[in-house]
Amino acid sequence: MFFSTDATGATLLFESLHPSSPAAIFGVWFAIFFTAVAYRALIHARGYVESKYWLRNRMMCKGGELEVILPTKQPSSLGRDFGRSAFVLITSSCGYILMLIIMTLIVPYFFAVVVGLAVGELLFARLAVGYVAPPYQ
């Protein structure tokens, strides 16, 4: 197994998906790139929804200082549990698809994933300032 720079005719994820022209390879590269950016956006979206809507924070003011107390156990909520499950399902699926693309060992596709993840982090990490993002997946 070794990295290859020739992506012409290589099968990608499905037997019927094998771009053979430079334009098709370029199109697939951008599709992979935007999938990686969307993966990072989904991870940050989960952190935003978790902190703004699902966590029940209590704020107390003692002597002019604002103190946030996080509860140790959340009350049960089917909507919240299904929402969390949906985020995990989508982000895990997207992450495994990106992993399978990297495992084709084609250099342009490898860099499409890596650059897409970096650009996604660059775009969405600054939005995480007001909340705690979930652990990286």
Each domain of the chain, given as residue ranges in start order, spans 22-130
The one-letter code for the residue type at 73 is K
pLDDT at position 14, please?
Answer: 81
The list of the chain residues with pLDDT below 50 reads: 60, 136-137
pLDDT at position 12, please?
Answer: 84
pLDDT at position 137, please?
Answer: 47
In the block, which residue shows the tokens 């979206």?
45
Are 47 and 131 in contact, with CB atoms under 8 Å apart? Answer: yes
DSSP string, 9-73: T--BSBTT----SHHHHHHHHHHHHHHHHHHHHHHHHHHHHIIIII---EEEEETTEEEEE--SS
pTM, 2 dp: 0.76
pLDDT at position 57, please?
Answer: 53
